[in-house]
């Protein structure tokens, strides 16, 4: 990660799987066989739906969070994440910055709480700032 400056406009999480019925089915079969894994999926989902902890977390981050599959990435996200998925990117006015790669996400063992801590620490380490709320105070933290 190279140090950057700027304000985080949004976070983008990139799953290590294609979206759509075919992609989801391929991931599910691979998961059951033990041949496929996605540490970001383990953080955001339990079974066939999002974790309650994840749903509760997203509004507290102070920036929008977009989760995309490999085949849903735009050009900038594709360039920043190619060969490094699953991952979490901070999108700034200067472009996307990698915050957490596959190894960092795997270390979280599916923990939403640890995800918040590591994401904030990675943003700080990259010299990024969280946006201020409308009343001028720093964005909320969990």
Measured CA to CA, the distance from residue 126 to residue 5 in angstroms comes to 7
pLDDT, one tens digit per residue, over 16-33 is 887 667 766 666 666 667
Q: For position 92, what pLDDT does the model report? A: 96
What are the backbone dihedrals phi and psi of residue 119, each rounded to the nearest 5 degrees, phi first? -65, -45
pLDDT, one tens digit per residue, over 42-57 is 999 887 788 999 999 9
pLDDT, one tens digit per residue, over 44-103 is 988 778 899 999 999 999 999 999 999 999 999 999 999 999 999 999 999 999 999 999
137 pLDDT above the threshold of 60: no
Nearest to 80 by CA among 125, 92, 7: 92
């Amino acid at each position: 990660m190279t140090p950057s400056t700027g304000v985080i406009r949004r976070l983008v999480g990139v799953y290590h799987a294609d979206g759509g019925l075919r992609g989801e089915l391929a991931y599910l079969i691979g998961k059951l066989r033990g041949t496929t894994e996605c540490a970001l999926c383990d953080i955001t989902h339990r079974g066939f739906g999002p974790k309650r902890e994840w749903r509760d977390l997203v509004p507290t981050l102070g920036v929008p969070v977009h989760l995309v599959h490999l085949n849903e990435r735009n050009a900038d996200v594709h360039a920043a994440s190619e060969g490094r998925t699953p991952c979490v990117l901070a999108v700034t006015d200067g472009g996307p910055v990698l915050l957490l790669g596959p190894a960092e996400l795997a270390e979280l063992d599916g923990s939403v709480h640890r995800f918040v801590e590591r994401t904030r620490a990675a943003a700080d380490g990259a010299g990024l700032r969280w946006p201020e709320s409308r009343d001028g105070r720093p964005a909320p933290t969990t």
